[in-house]
């Protein structure tokens, strides 16, 4: 979970607290007590729109974390069995290794990677921003070899495929959309 996700989660928790307090006060009002002043102010045209916006944001945040939970059900690590127990290597570790190996290749200006589990091993989806005047085909082959060899050697896990996407050439204006080949 990223720092942004954690902040969003705090916001969602605060929204939950506010909604809970509101529900309690509504309940109190429904059972005969006087409705609180702020509750009446919500009903005034002009202020209700803020509650609408808050409600929509809360629903969106809730949906985001629901999706996060469902996605997190798949293991985000590779397991190896050790002599005294399991050894788990997180996908983030494997990604860092791939990025380090990829950045060392001649012609690579920027490099990023994603990791997924394939049928016979790991699959790396890499995204490269290349230097100008580079033999892109050769550089891509070098990236594939370097990532596969380095990850297999240091992490001891099989790499099934390394998919290279040359997304951009350094010096040209970077595109805002980040495309990945999957």
Partner 1 sequence: MDDLDFQSTELGKIQIADEVIQVIAGLAATEVPGVAGMSGTFAGGITESLLGRKNLAKGVRVQFTEDKRCSVELSVSLQFGVNIPEVCLAVQENVKQAIESMTGLAVDAVHVHVTGVVFQAEKGRGDLA
Exactly one of 29, 36, 61, 100 binds partner 1 (CB under 8 A); that residue is: 100
Question: Does residue 97 interact with partner 1 by CB under 8 A?
Answer: yes
Interface stretch with partner 1, choices 20-28, 37-45, 93-101, 160-168 (CB under 8 A):
93-101
> What is the β-pairing status of strands 77-81 and 86-90?
antiparallel
Indicate the helix (H) or strand (E) that contains 121: none
First-to-final CA distance of the chain: 22
Give the shortest CB-154-to-partner 1 separation in angstroms.
6
Question: Does residue 7 interact with partner 1 by CB under 8 A?
Answer: no
Distance between CA 168 and CA 110 in Å, rounded?
A: 9
11-70 residues in contact with partner 1 (CB under 8 A) are none
Of 101 and 166, CB closest to partner 1: 101
Contact 115, 124 (CB under 8 A): yes
Question: Does residue 153 interact with partner 1 by CB under 8 A?
Answer: yes
Question: Does residue 138 interact with partner 1 by CB under 8 A?
Answer: no
Question: Does residue 6 interact with partner 1 by CB under 8 A?
Answer: yes
Distance between CA 51 and CA 49 in Å, rounded?
A: 5
Distance between CA 102 and CA 88 in Å, rounded?
A: 23
DSSP string, 162-176: EEEEEEEEBTBPPPS
Question: Does residue 83 interact with partner 1 by CB under 8 A?
Answer: yes
Give the shortest CB-143-to-partner 1 separation in angstroms.
18
Where are the alpha helices (H) located in 37-177, listed in sequence order? 37-43, 48-71, 91-103, 136-155
Size of the site for partner 1 (CB under 8 A): 22
Residues at the site binding partner 1, with contacts judged by CB under 8 A: 1, 6, 77, 80, 82-90, 92-93, 96-97, 100, 153-156
């Amino acid at each position: 979970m990223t720092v942004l996700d954690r902040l969003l989660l705090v916001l969602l928790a605060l929204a939950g607290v506010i909604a809970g307090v509101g529900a309690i006060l509504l309940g109190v009002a429904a059972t005969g007590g006087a409705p609180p002043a702020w509750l009446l102010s919500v009903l005034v045209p002009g202020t209700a729109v803020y509650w609408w916006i808050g409600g929509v944001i809360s629903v969106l945040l809730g949906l985001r974390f629901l999706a996060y939970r469902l996605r997190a059900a798949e293991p985000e690590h590779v397991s190896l069995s050790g002599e005294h127990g399991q050894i788990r290597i997180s996908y983030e570790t494997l990604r860092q290794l791939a990025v380090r190996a990829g950045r060392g290749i001649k012609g690579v200006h920027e490099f990023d990677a994603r990791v997924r589990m394939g049928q016979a091993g790991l699959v790396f989806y890499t995204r490269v921003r290349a230097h100008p005047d580079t033999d892109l085909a050769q550089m891509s082959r070098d990236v594939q070899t370097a990532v596969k060899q380095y990850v297999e050697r240091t992490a001891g896990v099989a790499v099934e495929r390394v998919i290279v996407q040359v997304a951009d050439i350094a010096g040209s204006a970077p595109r805002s959309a980040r495309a990945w080949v999957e």
